[in-house]
Amino acid sequence: MRTLNWRGRPSANRCASRMPPPPFTCGIDDGRTRPAGRSAASFDDSPHPRQIFTFTYLPLRTPFIWPGGVPSTMAPTASLAQSVVPAEAWEMLGRTDLEAYTSWDFPSQAAGHPDAGDASFNGVTPAGCAANLVRRYSGPGDLVVDPMAGSGTIGDVARALGRRAVSFDLVPRRPHILRADARAWPVPTKTAALAVIDSPYSDNVAYSADPRCLGRISCRDPRFYDEMEKVVSEAHRVLRPGGVLGWIIADEYRGGVYTAVGFRLLSLLERHFEPIDTIVLVRHHDRSASPMWEHRARRFNFFLRGFKFLFILRRQAGESGG
C-alpha cells in the first residue's frame, strides 16, 4: 500500500504515514528567526495580511534577540521604523478581537464582562454584542444610550469601556437605570454617538404590568409598528449627525403563523436612517431550546427561532433638524 509522508508526498517507507512531523526548530540569523531548513530568501517574503493581524508573523530583529539567544528588554526606536509591518497594522492589532463577519455567536452572556447585566433576565443582551457595537461606533467619552435597558448590560459595557452611558426603562431593575419611556427619551437632541435598542418583538414575554409596555402588544397588531416608529423618531432626534443606531429584533412563529417582524421594522428604520449592515445574532438559552421543542419542530414541520437581527444604521452626517 502506497503511503504519503508528512508533506503529502509519496513515501518509500510504508510506516512513514504513521511518523509524526519533525519538530519545529528556530535558527538565528542576523538577529532574525526562521524555521530550520527554510531559506533566508523565502523568509523575507512579505507576510500575508491575515498573518499580520493574528500575530503569526512577528519579525524579530537584533533589538529583540541578540547573538547567543540572549533576550533584549529594550528596542531602540530607530530599529522599530525598519519593521516590515505597516504602522497602521500595529494600530489595528488592538481591534483583532472584534467580530469580522455578519454572524455573531456569544454562547456566554457575560463573556469578557462578568459584571455586565443579569444572565437570568429573559432576553438579556450578550455583553459581547454590546462591546462590539460600543467599540466600533463610539469613542472614549462619547455618549451611549440604551432606552430599553432591561438588566442594564449595554450601559455596564459602555461605562467599562470609558463611555458615558444613559440607561432607562419603564420598569428600572437597578438603581442606575432611570425610569422613562422609550417613546420620550430624557436626553438632549444630537448628543449621542451610539444608541443600542434590544426591543420586544411581540407580546410573548411579560416584561411588566405597565400598560405602556411595548412588550404587551402583539407583532400582528399594526399598533406595534406605530409605537416602534415613535422610538425610531426619538433615536433620530437624540443621535448626532453620523451617529449610529443598533437595533436587535426577532421574528415570531406562533400558533402556526410566521410574522416577519425584522423586515417590517427595517422598513421603518430606513425612513430615518441609512443602513450600514445587518448582523445575525445567534440565540442561546431560549426556553424553546430543549429536546422536546426540537422534536416538535421536526414532527410538525416548523422551525425554532435560531437568531435575532441586529440592524446597524447611521444618521446621515449632512442632516439638519432634530
| Torsion angles phi and psi, residue 24, rounded to 5 | -85, 120
**Cell 532574525, residue located:** 32
pLDDT of amino acid 87 = 58
pTM: 0.67
- The CATH number given to whatever domain includes residue 178 is 3.40.50.150
Domain range enclosing 71: 22-93
**How far is the first Cα of the chain from the last one, in angstroms, to the nearest whole number?**
77
Whether 5 is in a domain gets the answer no
Do both 121 and 73 map to the same domain?
no
What cell was used for 212?
A: 405602556
Do both 67 and 136 map to the same domain?
no
Do both 277 and 187 map to the same domain?
yes
Residue 314, SS3 per DSSP:
strand
Of the candidates 166, 161, 155, the one whose C-alpha atom is nearest the C-alpha of residue 135 is 161
Instruction: Pick 169 or 290 by higher pLDDT.
Output: 169
Number of domains in the chain: 2
Question: 274 and 316 in contact (C-beta within 8 Å)?
Answer: yes
User: Is residue 61's pLDDT more than 60?
Assistant: no
**Cell 512579505, residue located:** 46
Whether 36 is in a domain gets the answer yes
Of the candidates 275, 170, 151, 271, the one whose C-alpha atom is nearest the C-alpha of residue 216 is 170
Do both 72 and 196 map to the same domain?
no
Name beta bridge partners: 28: 33
Do both 155 and 277 map to the same domain?
yes
Name beta bridge partners: 312: 246, 277
Q: What is the pLDDT of residues 96-106, one digit of tens each?
A: 679 999 999 98
Do both 78 and 118 map to the same domain?
no
Instruction: Pick 14 or 125 by higher pLDDT.
Output: 125
Do both 258 and 122 map to the same domain?
yes
User: Is residue 205's pLDDT more than 90?
Assistant: no
Name beta bridge partners: 11: 3
The DSSP secondary structure of 250-311, one letter per residue, reads --EEETTEEE-HHHHHHHHHTTTSEEEEEEEEE--S-TT-SHHHHHHHHHTT-----EEEEE
Instruction: Pick 39 or 262 by higher pLDDT.
Output: 262
Whether 70 is in a domain gets the answer yes
Do both 150 and 185 map to the same domain?
yes
Of the candidates 205, 210, 121, the one whose C-alpha atom is nearest the C-alpha of residue 170 is 210
pLDDT of amino acid 81 = 43
User: Cα dihedral angle (46, 51, 53, 59), rounded to 10 degrees?
Assistant: -60
Residue type, 162: G
pLDDT of amino acid 285 = 65
